[in-house]
Chains A and B, each alone.
Chain A
Amino acid sequence: MSMDEHVPTPPQATKRNFLKYVLGGGLVAWVVSVLYPIFAYLKPPEEGEVEVSSIKAGKVGEFVKDSGTIIRFGNKPLILVRLSSGELRAFSATCTHLDCTVQYRKDMGVIWCACHNGRYDLTGRNIAGPPPRPLEEYKVIIQDEEISISKKV
């Protein structure tokens, strides 16, 4: 047995090994260079979203007391709630649970998500059901009856 250990590797074997690595490596590189563009293609490009910082929602009179309206903020939905007192509050309308769009429930006096019966009070706090976090609140400013909504800093 000890004799075998001292037998030098024949030059053909080293050549063969060399070719094996070159061809094998080449094959791997080829597969990667074919697959990479495909996977990169599948990943949707970042869309140049217009960064919206504030929107005009309309006149106060357009919103009835004790009601909620979904309005666009860039490409996100907001819910503008007008309380019975006449006060206006705006929250993100995207349920923090699984991305559904919430609505104002007059009968329950809460912001409600139909998908999984999640509830938020009128300060946006999650009070019942599965939502894990409160709704993000937006700043509502009224100037000459004109409502403008902006992100809270």
Chain B
Amino acid sequence: MKTWWQRLYGWVNDRVHLEDLVEFLGKKYVPVHSHSVWYYFGGVSLFLFIIQVVTGILLLLYYKGSDTLAFESIQFIMAKVEFGWLIRSIHSWSANLFVLAAVIHMFSVYFTKAYRKPREMTWLTGMLMLGLALAFGFSGYLLPWNELAFFATKVGTDIAGSVPLIGESLMVFLRGGEDVGGATLSRMFGFHVAILPGVFAVLLGIHLLLVQRQGMSEPLGMENSSEAEQKTMPFFPNFLLRDLLLWLLVLNVLAVLAVLFPWELGHKADPFSPAPAGIKPEWYFLFMFQTLKYIPAQVLFVDGEVLGILMFGIAGVLWTLVPFWDRKSSRGEQNRLVNYVGIAVILFVIVLTIVGWLA
């Protein structure tokens, strides 16, 4: 006698041939080695993104995206809606942990050179998604329409305005006008809940498809070892179960953070009050923010901001293109330069983030 789920499986299988998929999953193996732990950060990022989608949709049911109603609607969510405080707090915390997990994932891929041929496209889609994650953070930051967010958005969009040639139009495009106001909030809301998720979903689909298709990358030098020496673990169910266990842990950490350190709402934004003391962007923008402070107002007839933004822009592009300038790794050779560049970047980011945090 077949159970109901065996019959359901049979019914679907008759129509779409699930055997192929099951066979594929059964043959998928994850390499086991001393750097295997980094494989989990991609999965953690994915899980946190799913949390963002779920809590984001829930918030959307009560949030009102206008300058006169946004702050009050979040007050309403936090004070009146059952578990509203929890959902909002998880959304804010998860956003930060998502960026953190994605950054760790990115650096681990960088240092293990997993971006090398044939995984250039996986790296590129990943870097684009990291950029989108920052855009998610920037646009989401304004939505509560509080003082800090208001001035952070003014500063952020003003910096975008110093991009050579297109700066002015870019700033007007981002702000929905000359100044940060209700139009900016509507725009950021639109980016945050429609445009960015749409583009992100497409990239994520490609990224995951590539990972499934190509399998996990092994650290350099391991491909040469004999098959007997290469330890592996079946993806299904061994690796997947470990993934799920970690996801459970992450969810618990999120719940603890959200309950013990609820996200503050602050004061409602008022365009006719001075910027409050201690204004800072989100921590993942701090290192850039802090660097801009050290660049003099004028360097050889060029505005300090322009110089800073150009430097970060060029550095970002070079970083993203690493699979194309690091030819050695693709040939299976060690490339120490990549490691030194990576370590220098990490030190720079960490030191300036701490300095910015303490300032």
Contacts and interface: CB of A to CB of B under 8 A. Distances in A.
A associates with B: yes
Interface of A: 42-44, 47, 70-72, 75, 77, 79, 93, 95, 98-103, 113-116, 130-132
Given A103-B275, A132-B297, A98 B172 contact: no
Interface string B59-87: 00000000000000000000000000000
A66 to B, nearest CB: 16
Interface in B147-182: 151, 154-155, 158-159, 169, 172-173, 175-177, 179-180
Interface centre among B180, B274, B304 (most CB of A within 10 A): B274
B271 interface: yes
Contact of B274 (A72, A103, A132): A103
Contacts of A116: 293
Contacts of B221: none
Nearest to B293: A116
A47 B172 CA distance: 12
Given A77-B271, A114-B275, A114-B276, A98 B155 contact: yes
Nearest to B289: A116
Contact of A100 (B151, B297, B304): B151
A72 B270 CA distance: 12
B279 A100 contact: yes
B273 interface: yes
B183 interface: yes
Given A100-B155, A101-B274, 14 more contacts: A44-B177, A70-B273, A77-B272, A79-B274, A98-B159, A99-B180, A100-B275, A101-B273, A102-B274, A113-B275, A114-B151, A114-B275, A115-B151, A131-B297
Given A43-B172, A130-B297, A72 B183 contact: no
Nearest to A78: B272
Given A70-B274, A98-B159, A102-B274, A132 B176 contact: no
Contacts of B277: 114
A75 B304 CA distance: 28
Contacts of B223: none
13 contacts: A42-B173, A43-B173, A44-B172, A44-B176, A72-B272, A95-B275, A99-B155, A100-B275, A103-B274, A113-B275, A115-B279, A130-B297, A132-B303
A111 to B, nearest CB: 10
Closest 3 CB pairs of A and B: A103-B274, A100-B275, A99-B158
A113 B274 CA distance: 8
Contacts of A71: 272
B274 A93 contact: yes
A132 B179 CA distance: 20
Interface in B291-314: 293, 297-298, 303-305
Contacts of A130: 293, 297, 304
B274 A98 contact: no
B277 to A, nearest CB: 5
Contacts of A98: 154-155, 158-159, 305
Contacts of B279: 100, 114-115
Contacts of A113: 275
B303 A99 contact: no
A110 to B, nearest CB: 13
Contact of B154 (A44, A93, A100, A132): A100
Contacts of A72: 272
B173 A75 contact: no
A70 B172 contact: no
B275 A75 contact: no
A102 B173 CA distance: 25
Nearest to A71: B272
